[in-house]
Amino acid sequence: MKTLITARLSTAPLDPSAIGRIVSAVGRLRSVDSVTVSVTDARVDVDFDPHAITVEELREVVMSLGYQVRGARVA
């Protein structure tokens, strides 16, 4: 049984069109269980298996889409 943790990525303000792009790209990563994007809170929450992927890798994927990540932590 895998153990999931939640990463909280604080972003620059997001446009509603970012939701689908971020959910699609991050959701394809190995061991990602769920992705929630809050435009109102400028935040991306990701439930994932920390034994298979790191918070830094999640951050890099969001940044590769052109979105600024201001901070990342385990929630």
Domain ranges of the chain: 5-74
Per-residue model confidence (pLDDT) at position 2: 77
CATH number of 5-74: 3.30.70.100
Pair of tokens at residue 74: 């385990």
**What are the pLDDT tens digits along the chain (75 aa)?**
679 999 999 999 999 999 999 999 999 998 999 999 999 999 999 999 999 999 999 999 999 999 999 999 998
Cα–Cα distance for residue pair 30/13, rounded to 1 Å: 27
Per-residue model confidence (pLDDT) at position 22: 98
pTM over 0.85: yes
